[in-house]
A = this chain, B = another copy of it.
Amino acid sequence: MNVLIVYAHPEPRSLNGALKDFTVQRLQAAGHAVQVSDLYAMAWKAPIDASDSVDHDPATRLDVSEASRRAFASGSQRPDIAAEQEKLRWADGVILQFPLWWFSMPAILKGWVDRVYAYGFAYGVGEHSDARWGDRYGEGSMVGKRAMLVVTTGGWESHYGPRGINGPMDDLLFPIHHGILHYPGFDVLPPFVVHRTSRIDEVRFAGLCEALGERLDNLWRTEPIAYRKQNAGDYEIPALTLKADVAPGQKGFAAHVLQPQA
């Protein structure tokens, strides 16, 4: 299989760097082809702007989506964007690896999403009608591909627990899991999360590698998070709210995960 690792940490000699190197080796040893988008090493341009459409006329008002749509359709995207899209087409599996900074991804990785996720590629795909609201949330360009987050954080696991002060990790990651990965069609695997990164000695690092290695070995066997598909009947269209008889009374992020049959 082909695996793309999108990796966002400025220091190769960091825990993140070591885990990324371990991941590459483990996947290659299992016979997979691996590409790494090391965003800091690539000096990835983070902000989306007018220069992302090489033929944008500066005198014209920039409509970000419309410029993205036109550039994607006409092949006038900046080459760095097109190259990342090509890696995504190539990949069967995608790993986003990053330290959790301010409860979200580092700016450089957000800028990878903002720019690479073009109109016509990751959104604005498919027909809008009475029965469909585009190919998204379970359909779209990434259908058949799997994605997983590898996330490090300085805080304790309890701080991210169901009643932890930071909010539950699953809820903090929902905008990424559901809004960035499920949206264009990825099957989203449970994340691999490392806590208390400042307290990692050799023993703990070995344990982390063992656990991560197991997750990597099972990349194609692990059950994805069972997010509901937008166009499969659970949502009113165009309101895009859950139908009254679907998860009745439930609100919030968790309502968008299918419940196991009783």
Contact = CB atoms under 8 A, between A and B. Distances in A.
B104 A104 contact: yes
Given A110-B110, A111-B46, A154-B65, A240 B165 contact: yes
B165 A106 contact: no
Contacts of A239: 156, 158-159, 164
Contacts of A48: 10, 101, 106-107
A146 interface: no
> A39, A102, A114 — which one has the most chain B CB atoms within 10 A of its CB?
A102
A106 B47 contact: yes
Nearest to A161: B241
A165 B107 CA distance: 25
Interface of A: 10-11, 13-14, 39-40, 44, 46-50, 61-65, 99, 101-108, 110-111, 113-114, 117, 137, 154, 156, 158-159, 161-168, 171-172, 174-175, 178-180, 230, 235, 238-242, 247, 250-253, 255-256
A110 B117 contact: no
Is chain A's binding surface mostly helix, strand, loop or mixed? loop
A251 B102 contact: no
B114 A50 contact: no
Max chain B Cβ within 10 angstroms of own Cβ: one of A47, A62, A114, A163: A163
A104 to B, nearest CB: 6
A72 to B, nearest CB: 16
Contact of A102 (B44, B103, B180): B180
Contact of A114 (B101, B117, B172): B101
A239 B40 CA distance: 34
Given A106-B110, A137-B165, A156-B238, 17 more contacts: A10-B48, A10-B64, A11-B61, A40-B49, A47-B107, A48-B101, A104-B175, A105-B110, A107-B108, A163-B242, A163-B255, A164-B239, A166-B240, A167-B178, A167-B179, A171-B171, A172-B175
